[in-house]
């Protein structure tokens, strides 16, 4: 039976772009299949009550600088989309397996490259269609399929499935019930796949909310200026 990894992503995330390019280096030699699952990042944020990096200006600047550093060191083209944040709905819907079918990998690669390597506007349907056409795909047919009610419903379902799996951020890799959140988790993912997870020798219950890392009672909470 072929082992597989669910790759949850949204085109809004530069980390997702970089992870999409680097994940095959982990999976291909280990004969692990990548199952791409586009989800609406805003839906995850709303469910968990989080703010996105774009809503926290210093964090947003840090994200772009960190990704630019990583890309430069890895020799990966990196350029911010023309507008950010943007509405990713069309790009996500056209990337669903039910829409892209056996060309899903090509569709995702083309859209990521258009936005994060070439700086195009991923919130614009015509731009997306042109990127797909340039990659040898039928952009018009794919966009038409993405506007079908079934595609809109499927994206909502994929986002809900991600929430139910405990996904809270983008990108997230899920394998054998274990979540790996973020580009920086790829080395740990590789170790996990090789059966060398450092957590195998640790009693995780002692460092999670089931053990010592419980939430401090409200009566013991301190304000930001009360620690002395």
Which position has the token pair 């072929």? 2
Give residue-wise pLDDT tens across range 104-153: 999 999 999 999 999 999 999 999 999 999 999 999 999 999 999 999 99
State residue 228's pLDDT score.
44
Q: Average of pLDDT values for 23-34?
A: 98
Query: Beta 33-38 vs 178-181: how paired, if at all?
Result: unpaired
Give residue-wise pLDDT tens across range 53-70: 989 999 999 999 999 999
The span from the CA of 224 to the CA of 28, in Å, is 47
The span from the CA of 67 to the CA of 80, in Å, is 10
CA angle 172, 173, 176 (to 5 degrees): 135
pLDDT tier at 218, thresholds 50, 70, 90: low
The span from the CA of 78 to the CA of 81, in Å, is 9
Q: What is the mean pLDDT of the chain?
A: 92
Contact 33, 43 (CB under 8 A): no
Give residue-wise pLDDT tens across range 154-193: 999 999 999 999 999 999 999 999 999 999 999 999 999 9
| Domains identified in the chain and CATH numbers | 4-220 (3.40.30.10)
In sequence order, the 6+-apart residues with CB closer than 8 A to the CB of 133 are 139
Q: What token pair was written down for 182? A: 């973020």
């Amino acid at each position: 039976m072929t082992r597989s990894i669910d790759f949850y992503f949204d085109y809004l995330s530069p980390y997702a772009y970089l992870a999409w390019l680097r994940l095959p280096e982990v999976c291909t030699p280990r004969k692990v299949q990548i199952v791409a699952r586009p989800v609406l990042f805003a839906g995850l944020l709303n469910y968990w009550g989080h703010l996105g990096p774009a809503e926290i200006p210093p964090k947003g600047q840090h994200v772009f600088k960190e990704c630019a550093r990583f890309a430069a060191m890895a020799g990966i083209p990196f350029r911010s989309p023309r507008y950010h944040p943007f509405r990713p709905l069309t790009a996500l819907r056209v990337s669903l397996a039910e829409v892209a079918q056996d060309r899903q990998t090509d569709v995702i690669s083309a859209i990521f490259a258009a936005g994060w390597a070439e700086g195009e506007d991923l919130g614009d349907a015509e731009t997306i269609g042109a990127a797909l056409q340039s990659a040898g795909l039928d952009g018009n047919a794919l966009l038409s399929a993405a506007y079908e009610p079934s595609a809109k419903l499927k994206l909502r379902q994929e986002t809900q499935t991600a929430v139910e799996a405990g996904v809270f951020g983008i990108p997230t890799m899920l394998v054998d019930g274990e979540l790996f959140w973020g580009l920086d988790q790829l080395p740990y993912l590789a170790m996990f796949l090789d059966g060398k997870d450092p957590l195998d020798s640790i009693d995780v219950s002692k460092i999670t909310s089931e053990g010592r890392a419980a939430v401090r009672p409200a009566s013991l909470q301190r304000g930001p200026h009360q620690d002395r």
